[in-house]
Amino acid sequence: MASEASPLPNEDENRSLTHFLGVELKHTLTQDEKDLAAAGYEHLEQKKKAEDDKTSVDITEHTIPLRELGSALSTSINVKDPGSSEGLTADEAAARLKRDGPNILTPPKKRSPLRQYIDRLLTMFNVLLIVAGVLEYALLGIDFHANFANTYLGAILIAVAFLNAFIDWYQTQKV
């Protein structure tokens, strides 16, 4: 065989796929096929761009010279002594507060206590303890009489995982 079989076609416009029997299949994508393939994803791209616009903010005010910054923000800045600048008038400040809202960051969403507990329960260590406990019960199912002590061991491992998650959750709640 000249080339090995590839399960996935190349990303080129001219797609060539070699079958395991050595038959080469060629397909050229037309513009209609490209448009049809891209048509279903426009809403996803717009949604992703909208999410990016919400989370990213371009702050360039620190690069603007003080004279231009004062005129851009419609305020007065004393270039020689910025500490003695007059700033906004009370009316202008009230109008901007009404228009733009307060200058505060939005706090992150809080997770419910149950969700926080589940997150701690699903840490790698606790998952390993739970899996080990379940495997102990699987051994019990294989030979009940020889592995009867595994009943207690499996229950203890699973209980330790839940207790460990609770202690971790409780300690973070106290802070």
Structural contact between residues 151 and 157, judged by C-beta atoms closer than 8 angstroms:
no
User: Residue type at 95?
Assistant: A
Domain ranges of the chain: 1-56, 61-100, 113-174
**CA dist., res. 163 & res. 170, Å (int):** 10
Q: What is the pLDDT of residues 72-100, one digit of tens each?
A: 877 878 778 877 777 788 888 899 889 88
Structural contact between residues 94 and 88, judged by C-beta atoms closer than 8 angstroms:
no
User: Residue type at 28?
Assistant: T
Query: Which of 172, 54, 29 lies closest to 113 in space, CA to CA?
Result: 172
Of all helices (H) and strands (E), which one includes residue 127?
helix 124-142
Q: What is the pLDDT of residues 6-60, one digit of tens each?
A: 444 444 445 555 656 666 666 677 777 777 666 666 666 676 776 666 666 677 8
**CA dist., res. 167 & res. 118, Å (int):** 12
Q: Is the pLDDT of residue 144 over 70?
A: yes
- The pair of structure tokens assigned to 9 is 């076609």
Query: Which of 60, 70, 173 lies closest to 120 in space, CA to CA?
Result: 173
Q: What is the pLDDT of residues 105-137, one digit of tens each?
A: 888 888 899 999 999 999 999 999 999 999 988
Give the C-alpha distances (Å, rounded to integers) separating 88 from 64, 76, 94, 98: 19, 7, 9, 14
Q: Give this prediction's pTM.
A: 0.45
Query: Which of 28, 33, 29, 3 lies closest to 18 in space, CA to CA?
Result: 3
